[in-house]
Structure 1
């Protein structure tokens, strides 16, 4: 059953021309630009888009309206985002009922999860195919693949009201979780109402408001999950400041897997300021270092690293926060022994400036 209706090449669907395209966003534009594809009409439920020009056509608000303007259409392709499955199903049923072939995308409507559509299409003597995530290719090159796409969360757009602070680091296990917790405690001690979001299953300690394992999600879903967490905490707690624990590092050597996760959390947080953690002489990680991590963070997001949290568990005896301050020109603190008050000062001073 798996991949049975999968489109493997544009040649598989060129004989279904011409197409009506549902979804006037990036996916619809990409499909209409495929080699040998003829798009003769476009539909979108967004009333702001209806009646406007898109890819050389005028966007319609319904299939009936579109067919009046493009009666030559033989097929309908559904290019809608995750979260619009109901709308996708509506258009698929309408199209099949009118004798149109249907091409879906795995984001909008999985055929394998809606086999009744296949039966309906067969009864109407039309074709139904799916532009799949091609997990068969992943299985071929890697030896294993998920049963279906791991991307499941709808996209979200939200602008936080409170400043967001991201706690990153030069490696795994360098003190990000402890730093985030200490910043929350320091904020509370000053009478502020902080929110602390942990992105790891081990974020179990107070004053963390809630935790979830970002690494369990698709990298495409992590930014949505982080931004959803920010939106949720603002609606439920109305914090003065939000601290988000990062994972891994953008620059750590060795195992590259977590680096994409680190970038995804950073992008989802879109922080106003960043604290970078570092563990000198790390016993089982290979950090490139503070300078490299700062460059990477500020390249990925338009933000500013304003302080350093140094974990001196494995450091030489002569290393101290002042060494890092003089070397990197940023406030530095050993939060394990001294708390995070100095780092909070650096954050607030930067935000006020």
Structure 2
């Protein structure tokens, strides 16, 4: 009833004042048949600057005095629900129609706004995630959007190392743990973040299942985890366990998760794990994974962790070093000291 299904449903609400001068605000103002006559943003760095042909204001009252707007659209990010609610109430009280987005302020979660709008004889609508459409073609969908974490900006003080792999079950968790042990043996203070519910072994600092989050939330969760562990522990180096692979053929569904963790980590260096002759997966291989990682993020793969258990192939560490010209270690047999050397040497460069 309150969800926008087509741009035609909001064209008769023109002209609009847009709250939120970011990607959402620009997208809305560029919709066919939409007339945006004013823009508001609480960020003082944006106020007074031009945006989509208008000067960004700091208040709704000023925009109302300078325009003939009939409606307000709220295009704020997750985490700004308080600000969105403030503008919605102010707009409805001023006799404006309101269009919001599920990221800014869910109409269905705020029934009092619906009653308020009805009492003021104005329209309130929501640009929803259209999960009804997902349910139509997939047969099932969550009741509401899974994207809930606010986005953060943070620059780590310690170097961040991402442990990726060519497939699932190739040794990423063990490699991350062994790197932490090797760092402690050198007198360093490592932080080990596991992104899997099975990351229960010491010296892992904490674990969470990144796959339980939306792909949009995973980078924010990784960055928030880095910030948290630096505030709690002040580590010298941070190791982050990846999930799945960017290139595995046998199970493509988690590839987006692997990319999201890598993007959130924004690592200074990467170790790639590989399991030769994997009995359950179809990895494209080390070359393809390295290309994918270094294409997705401005980082460098500096070493390989090889899981030779049940390999049933005539290969060893020396074989992989000659093939890929990188330091290689079987962490199950020898630990990760050699890989840590490769990381530290690269960071010194």
Please give the root-mean-square deviation of Cα atoms over the aligned residues, in Å: 0.7
**1:51 partnered with 2:48:** yes
Instruction: Give me the TM-score of the superposition, normalised by structure 2.
Output: 0.99
**1:173 partnered with 2:169:** yes
Instruction: Give me the TM-score of the superposition, normalised by structure 1.
Output: 0.98
- 1:317 CA displacement: 5.2
Q: 1:64 aligns with which of 61, 66, 78?
A: 61
Q: Is the 8 A contact 2:72 2:96 kept in 1?
A: yes
SS at match of 1:308: strand
Counterparts of 2:313 and 2:129, CA distance in 1: 53
Q: Is the 8 A contact 2:162 2:242 kept in 1?
A: yes
- 1:243 CA displacement: 0.3
Q: Which residue is 2:327 aligned to?
A: 331
Q: Is the 8 A contact 1:279 1:314 kept in 2?
A: no
Q: Deviations over 1:232-276 (max 9, x none)?
A: 111110000000000000000122111000000000000000000
**1:116 partnered with 2:112:** yes
Q: Which residue is 2:143 aligned to?
A: 147
* Structure 1 spans left out of the alignment, 5+ residues: none
Q: How many residues align?
A: 349
Counterparts of 2:326 and 2:344, CA distance in 1: 14
Counterparts of 1:205 and 1:199, CA distance in 2: 13
Q: 2:96 aligns with which of 69, 84, 100?
A: 100
**1:195 partnered with 2:191:** yes
Counterparts of 1:90 and 1:337, CA distance in 2: 60
Q: Is the 8 A contact 2:251 2:281 kept in 1?
A: no
**1:7 partnered with 2:10:** no
Counterparts of 1:172 and 1:60, CA distance in 2: 50
Counterparts of 1:305 and 1:47, CA distance in 2: 40
Q: Which residue is 1:88 aligned to?
A: 84
Counterparts of 2:229 and 2:137, CA distance in 1: 41
Q: 2:255 aligns with which of 259, 272, 290?
A: 259
Q: Which runs of 4+ in 1 moved over 6 A?
A: none
Q: Which residue is 2:121 aligned to?
A: 125
**1:27 partnered with 2:24:** yes
Q: Deviations over 1:293-333 (max 9, x none)?
A: 00000010000000000000121353111100000111100
Q: Which residue is 2:238 aligned to?
A: 242
Q: Is the 8 A contact 1:7 1:130 kept in 2?
A: yes
Counterparts of 2:48 and 2:296, CA distance in 1: 37
- 1:60 CA displacement: 1.1
Counterparts of 2:338 and 2:43, CA distance in 1: 49
Counterparts of 1:47 and 1:340, CA distance in 2: 48
